[in-house]
Amino acid sequence: MKQLLLMPLRADIQFETSYKLREALYNLDGIDTITSRAIARMPQVKSDEFKLRAAQRQVYMSKGAFSPTLSLSYYSGSNFINLAQDYRDSTVIVDPSPIGNVFVPQLNSFVTINSLQSSYTGKVPDGERPYWMQISDNLSHRVTLSMSIPIFSRFQRKTNLSNSFLQLKNQELQLEQTKNKIREEIYTAYINYKNAQKAYYANVTNAKAFDNSLNFAREKFNAGVINSLDFNTTVTNDQNAKSELLRSKYEYIFRKIVLDFYVYGVVNIE
């Protein structure tokens, strides 16, 4: 036992009090209730149900591929360059300059005509253009609205839809197969439980009979009616009957615990 439990050979083992057998109430009329509860709770059924939902959504997606597609997109962008310069306004004074000579008869000579003094405002570099100013100055926006109408795609959409339907059917069959497997397991567990129950009660009666036989044999042995060999044979039969009763008891307990798991989802061995 220590080897089976992977315990050190020097470790002490303390045996607890014998398990008390609780009478079970499972019968053939309630097997459908047990089955429905187990199917609604078992994780493998939940997994197949989610897969079935995914397959149904895949069918909807495949059907949607036949519908026109309307797309709306928005783009916003800007740019920055570290060579960009910032400019400021600067007033430039233009001095008078000769623009030509005119002959004046009264003076009998040529007179130089100069331009008038003028000024204008120009842009002159004033250091690097700041980053956020460049982003704001170069900001651009673009909105696009497009529609795509499926016309011909070499039957690819039709093939995808057919595959989606096949996958849906496969998932439906898988779910039903999982439910049938659980139902078969519960039926098998119930049959084993009933067989263990009958075997236990038969061994109870058998153990009582061998116990009475042992009492009679003890009285006969004390009276000298039978010899020690016959008495020891009766003792051995009584011990075998009690051992078989104990084995069938725990077999009965185990089969009931299996049904408890399908009903409640937990194992209760109190």
Q: What is the pLDDT of residue 168?
A: 94
d(CA 266, CA 41): 11
233-265 burial, b for 16+ CB within 10 Å, e for fewer? ebeebbeebeebbeebbebbbebbebbbebbee
What number of other Cβ atoms are within 10 A of residue 42's Cβ?
Answer: 18
Q: What is the pLDDT of residue 267?
A: 56
12-39 per-position pLDDT tens digit: 877 555 555 555 567 766 788 888 888 8
Q: Which residue has the tokens 């059907």?
A: 63
With a cut of 70, list the residues of the chain below it in pLDDT: 1-2, 4-5, 15-25, 28-29, 124, 265-270
Give the global pTM. Answer: 0.58
Q: What is the pLDDT of residue 1?
A: 60
Q: What is the pLDDT of residue 106?
A: 73
Q: What is the pLDDT of residue 18?
A: 55
Q: Which residue has the tokens 């595959």?
A: 163
- Residues pairing with 114 in the sheet: 98
CA 240 to chain centre: 53
Which CATH number fits the domain 28-66+158-264, given the four candidates 3.40.50.850, 1.20.1600.10, 3.10.105.10, 3.40.50.2000? 1.20.1600.10
Q: What is the pLDDT of residue 266?
A: 60
Domains in the chain: boundaries: 28-66+158-264, 79-148
Q: What is the pLDDT of residue 126?
A: 73
